[in-house]
Structures are given as C-alpha cells and as structure tokens.
Chain A
Amino acid sequence: MIKATGNECLVSSVTMVCMYWRKARQNLSWNIPLDFDHEEWNDFYKKLLKYVRSSGLPHNNIRYVLRALKFPLTARLEFLQDAYNLRNLIELKIPPIVLYDQRWFLRNVHGIAHAVVLVDHTNEMFVSVDPSLAEKYIYKLPKTDFEEAWEYKKNATIIIYPKYYKPTIKKRPVRTLEPYLKRSKKVE
C-alpha cells in the first residue's frame, strides 16, 4: 500500500492496482518483478508522479505510461451508470478506481476529485483502500453517501485491466424523462 498526500492519490491508486494485477495474473508477460519493494516499482511510481501537473493527473497519461513501460495492462476512464456496475467489477475481481468528491462526502461542500480503490462491498458499504489514510488505508464508505459524492464527479471510474480482457461498453442516455414528456405533450 502506498501513502499519498495532495494530488498523489490517483498515482498511488494506479500503482496499487498494477501491483494487484502483477500478483493476480503472474502468467502475463511482465517486465517488472513480483517483489513490490523492488526499485522498479518505485521507479514506476515516480514516473507516474512526473505527469502530475498543477491541474492533476490526466487519465491519458496513465494509458501512456502503461504503454511506454510495456505493461500487459490498459486503462479506461468511464462514467458508470450506477453503483451496481461497481459491484459487478468488484465481483469480477477488477478493482475499480473511483473518483469522488471527498469533501462532499465528509462535509457537504464541493472539492477536488479524490481517487480510491474499491476492493470489496457489503450490503451497505463499499470497502476502499484510501492512500491518503496512510497506515490505516482501509476505509468503509457507506453506499448512499458515497453514491451522492461520486455522482458529483459524474460517477467517474478508472478501470485498469489486462489487455486480453474484452470489455463491452453499453451506453445509456442520462437525460431524465422530462424532455420526452414535454415532447409528447406537444404532439398531443
């Protein structure tokens, strides 16, 4: 687990997910050792840190680093439809990195998007690994409050998975029924 402060939370989360895949899919063509204390993991973390700008870490840079280092992984940024999709990913053992408004979650005021890795869920909670809570890391997020804070960042989720996985992306409109109802009224 990697400690993070400030803008480093996404970098730490990405590194941790890469470590997870390194251990979970050992048969893939990895060019990085399994020993997480090895210097190369530190180099990977530092390389990602280089792309953290004053505006944060752009998602495109995560893809770029994974490709440049020839990791057998790829990353996607998606705006998930709802929390059921998160649950599905967790059950498929694909740990999603969620971007949520942590300040809204804690204090009901808007703030920066905070990245955590979701590793498990119960009926009422999501279990997250939060790099900003170093030493403790594991933090349980009540689903209702989390969903509200996550929605403020449009349910943004970064999914890192092995390249051979074949995701099917099904797009659903976000629009409420209002415009359709208005239209149907006009027709009448």
Chain B
Amino acid sequence: MKFTVRVKKLDKPELVAYDRIFKHYGTGCYPQTPQEKEDHWEVPVGAYFQSKIVNEKTNRERILTFNLQNVGEILVKKSTMRVERATSLRTVGKNIFKEKTKIRQTVEKDLIKVFGDPDMELRFSELKYSFTGLQPIYRTLNLLLTEHRPTFDEVLMSGAHYPEQLELIIDLGYAKYTKNNTLEPTNKLKDLFVKEKGNIERTCEIVLGLVVSTFYYDLRKQMRIAQFVPYVRASTAYYGDAIQFGKLISVSEERLQINLRDYYKRAPLPPRVRYAFPVVVNELVNARILAYDGDYITGREPLFEKLIDIRSELPIREEPFGS
C-alpha cells in the first residue's frame, strides 16, 4: 500500500536540532534559541526532567517537571543544514544528572543549616552511629561542663584525632586554650549552659548540631568523619520529596529507601558507614528529624517550614495531569 506524507524540509537550525533531539536524545529535550556563528548555528539543548512524588498514605501523586538549561549542544552547518557536531546521549544524560545533583545539594545544604538551629530541638545524641564519629567533641564538652579542664597533652593522649576535632568547637567560640595550654569553656558555652538550665545533654546536642551544620563538608572530606552522612542523606531524601510535593508527605520505609538510592545515585558511601536502613530511620525519628505516622514515615512541621522556601528556587512546574 502506498501513502504520501508531506513534511517540512529541514531548512531551519531549530528544526534540524529538533530532528536530532527527538531521534537521539528523547522527547524530554528541546532546542533553546539558536546562536549564529561564522559558518554554523549553535543550538543549546534544554531538558524537561520529570519527577514523580507519591504520598502513600493518601495515595496522591504529583508529577513535577524540572526545566534544565544547557544540557547539550548541537552545531548545525549553515551550508548543508546538517548536524556538524552534537553532544552525545551519554553526555546529555550526565549533564542532566549533574543538574539533578545541584538541586539535591541545595536541599541538603539548607537542611544542614537547619540542623544548627537550637529552636528545632533536635536530639543528636539519639543518632547513635553518627555519634561515634564525634565522640571527641561530645566527651570534651562533657568534661568542660563538669568543671574539668584538660590540658593539651591530656587531649593528645586521648587520641591523635582529638585536637583536630576540638579545633572545630574552638572555631565556633565554645572553648579556648589558656596560656598554660589548658582547655576551658568560653562565656558563650557557659551562657548556653545557663540558658539550657544546666542540662549538659541538651547543651552538648546544640553544640554538636552547630558543628555538623557549620563543618559538615569539612568533616566529611577533610577529616573523613562520615558516620552521620547516611542520616543526612536519608533526611534529604525525605525532605527533598516533601519540598517538591509542597507539604509533608507520608511514605513507607521501602519508598524512602528507593528515594534515597535515587537521590544519591553514583554517590557511594565508605563500607564502614553502611548501616541497616530501619535503624537509621528509627534513630532519625528519635532525634526528632523525622516522625512516624502510623506505619508511614513523615517529617516534622518546624523543620519543613524552614525548608519550604527552597521550592521557589527550584526550576519546577507541576504537570497538568497526575494520576
């Protein structure tokens, strides 16, 4: 059987780019405004990336579209109106992934900032595994608040990594070395202790929160203390989705684990910090970062309120149809 189709001749750079995009990249991409160069057209490629967020308790689903710019480039030769050079599909995929990583980092950075807010009343001591990495800070704070004044030599004898970690609370202004090399609390720590009505546990938790909040990336990359990374990642996976959804959602533990894998794809953890996921979730709930909603996991309103402003910064739009 014969049939005739009348089609457009590929005589415009945008059309040539569309042809390349739909055939090689996919329907999620689009050409941005072509730029005229000497003997060719340069067409940057943008991509719409879709993200599906599910509130499992209410069974509501939202499909959001991220509009990512400059994920690839197509060069169209003027004389032949053919593609001279184009970004490979693999690179386009990588660039989309990079853009996604930037979005995830925005949520992660803001979440870490919120960890340092004493008004959130987070209980970092409940993050047991996370705590093991920051023991030097916790133990020294305890000593200082119970009127002990360790000397630098005593600190060094406790462990080679002690002085390095204590530098962090010194930088934050909660402790200082005297002239005879004794570590003592500053007025800032004393004031905090009084404000917390002499509660050592709570004072330590606030300082630990500030340490994690201020030095998270230094602790991980330079000091190689990664014990709390799984907790931050699990929290980011939850709040990242909740921010996109626009309100707190309730998800199962399995779903949260899938989100976590998706959020941190190609970002491996050292083997020594691969904890059992239910333990991490349970401790995050005890630390008041997440909460249980029956069989589901949800977030905490005060934390979410601090984070929701990020939504306006994300390049997202809601799809007209979500089932």
Interface, chain A (partner B; CB < 8 A): 3, 5-7, 10, 52-60, 77-82, 84-85, 88-89, 92, 94, 99, 102-103, 106-107, 109-113, 115, 132-134, 153-156, 159, 161, 164-175
Contact = CB atoms under 8 A, between A and B. Distances in A.
Contacts of B49: 54
30 contacts: A5-B63, A53-B26, A53-B89, A54-B28, A54-B97, A55-B28, A55-B71, A56-B25, A57-B26, A58-B26, A77-B23, A79-B8, A81-B6, A89-B5, A103-B320, A109-B317, A110-B30, A112-B27, A132-B323, A133-B321, A134-B323, A154-B15, A165-B1, A168-B4, A169-B5, A171-B8, A172-B6, A174-B9, A174-B11, A175-B12
B61 A154 contact: no
Nearest to A62: B23
Contact of A106 (B2, B19, B71, B320): B320
Q: Main SS of chain A's interface residues?
A: mixed
Interface residues of B, number: 46
Nearest to B9: A171
Contacts of A154: 8, 14-15, 18
Contacts of A166: 1-3
A167 to B, nearest CB: 6
Given A55-B29, A58-B89, A166-B3, 5 more contacts: A7-B28, A79-B8, A99-B27, A155-B8, A156-B22
A112 B28 contact: yes
Most A CB contacts (10 A, CB to CB) among B11, B28, B47, B317 go to B28
B191 to A, nearest CB: 50
Which 10 residue pairs across A and B have the least CB separation, nearest first? A56-B26, A56-B28, A112-B48, A56-B27, A55-B26, A171-B9, A81-B6, A113-B27, A79-B8, A6-B50
Most A CB contacts (10 A, CB to CB) among B6, B23, B47, B96 go to B6
A94 B1 CA distance: 11
Q: Main SS of chain B's interface residues?
A: mixed
B24 interface: yes
B29 A56 contact: yes
Contact of A81 (B8, B12, B61, B89): B8
A115 B47 contact: no
Contacts of A170: 4-7
Contacts of B61: 5
A173 B12 CA distance: 9
B50 A85 contact: no
Nearest to A153: B18
A55 B92 contact: yes
A58 B89 CA distance: 9
A173 B319 CA distance: 34
Contacts of B27: 7, 10, 56-57, 99, 112-113, 115
Given A164-B1, A174-B12, A81 B320 contact: no
A170 B14 CA distance: 20
B5 to A, nearest CB: 6
B5 A167 contact: yes
A78 B5 contact: yes
Interface in B59-103: 61, 63, 65, 71, 89, 92-93, 96-97, 100
Contacts of B18: 79, 153-154, 156
B9 A173 contact: yes
